[in-house]
Amino acid sequence: MSKGVYWVIIASLLIILALFIRDCVNRQKHIPEPGVYIKETRDTIYRIDTVKIQEPKLVYKKVVDSIPYPVYINGDTIDIQIPIAQLYYAESALYDIWISGYECKIDSMFVYPKTTEITWTIEKTIVTPPKIFGACIYLGVGAQYGVITRKFDFGPQVGIGVYIRLQKRKR
């Protein structure tokens, strides 16, 4: 063989060696462990709404006391009893009001309920092992037809061979 063929073979072997060295260096970089990673985040939003109640519902009314009020008629004084009532307004869990007084009434009412909104976000990340460059070495028996000697004589050959298969494989 000529010297040029030897240099091509040596250059090819050096390139393959460089690829193996590069692969070994790249393995040392940080690669997350294979598995399932779950990240949970929670966002909480507080909101205060304004609810206007035009005419609240009267649930309960009771006279609890009376106050004497003097009235003058034709020079005479008469005490009139003014009833003091206790009123109870309610509507489910929205509001609850107690009022006491004479002829008292609620015209309208504003309620500011606090609303809490919670949003859960779950991110599931599945990390699979990366495919890396590698080689498999096989040993086998082969039969072929080819050059037997340096004189370019063709004939059948039987022999034992070592095969290297370059591939990407899982870690």
Task: Give the pLDDT confidence of 81-138 residue by residue, as tens digits.
Answer: 899 999 888 887 778 888 888 888 887 888 888 888 999 998 888 887 766 666 666 6
Q: What is the pTM of this model?
A: 0.39
73, two tokens: 């008629």
118-153 burial by CB neighbour count: b if 16+ within 10 A, else e?
eeeeeeeeeeeeeeeeeeeeeeeeeeeeeeeeeeee
Distance CA 61, CA 44 (A): 41
Residue 155: CB partners within 8 Å, gap ≥ 6?
145, 146, 148
Task: Please report, as a single letter, which amino acid is at residue 133.
Answer: F
Range with the largest mean pLDDT of 30-34, 52-56, 147-151: 52-56
If you average pLDDT over residues 65-84, what whole number do you get?
88
pLDDT for residue 159: 77
